[in-house]
């Protein structure tokens, strides 16, 4: 047994000697794999006068998160998120919607007529499609506070907590596999 132990110790010493020999360099640790962002397409063909607000709301998400990107659906491409202008309150399907899935955002004119900011509405409703529930009541700094922040609030930017949740919803591993909720969230005050 002592002899076997002695051979093992000598082998270990040889490995240490080789790895610390002058001029020897250790192989760098492999970089963590970066997965590509999930791309979700939106169809704004029924968004009426709110097309530019929808594009601005999508850009707010694209500039603040990495794991998911919102892109206008090219002609002939099936969109995961359909945006429809109507006369009611803004509302949306609660996600997180997955590629090939379906969610709807109703861009309600009632909120616009009462003075709410259109880019904030778009960013907020898209947030629902990305899996964020309302956080009411809440301050203007919380995008998902929606109408409770008041008509003077024009902030369309998700806060750190909201961004982190969307990153987790679309990140790799089990956190990125959260099922779509599917409820319709109405944003009336």
Q: CA nearest 146: which of 131, 124, 122, 113?
A: 124
Q: Where are the beta strands (DSSP E) in the chain?
A: 38-46, 68-72, 81-86, 91-93, 103-108, 184-186
Residue 125 bears catalytic tag: yes
Peptide bond between residue 137 and the one before it cis (omega within 30 degrees of 0) = yes
Catalytic residue among 33, 114, 125, 162: 125
Question: Which H helix or E strand runs over 126?
Answer: helix 118-129
Q: What are phi and psi of 185, to 5 degrees?
A: -105, 120
Give catalytic residues, as residue numbers.
125
């Amino acid at each position: 047994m002592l002899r076997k132990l002695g051979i093992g110790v000598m082998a270990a010493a040889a490995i240490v000697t080789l790895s610390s020999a002058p001029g020897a360099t250790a192989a760098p640790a492999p970089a963590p794999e970066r997965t590509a962002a999930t791309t979700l397409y939106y169809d704004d063909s029924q968004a009426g006068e709110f097309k530019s607000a929808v594009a601005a709301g999508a850009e707010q998400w694209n500039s603040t998160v990495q794991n998911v990107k919102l892109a206008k659906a090219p002609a002939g491409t099936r969109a995961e998120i359909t945006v429809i202008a109507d006369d009611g309150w803004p509302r949306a399907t609660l996600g997180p919607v997955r590629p090939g899935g379906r969610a709807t955002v109703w861009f309600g004119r009632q909120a616009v007529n009462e003075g709410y900011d259109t880019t904030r509405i778009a960013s907020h409703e898209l947030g629902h499609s990305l899996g964020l529930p309302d956080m009411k009541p809440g301050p203007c700094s919380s995008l998902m506070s929606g109408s409770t922040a008041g008509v003077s609030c024009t902030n369309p930017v998700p806060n750190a907590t909201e961004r982190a949740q969307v990153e987790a919803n679309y990140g790799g591993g089990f956190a990125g596999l959260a099922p779509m909720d599917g409820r319709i969230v109405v944003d009336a005050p």
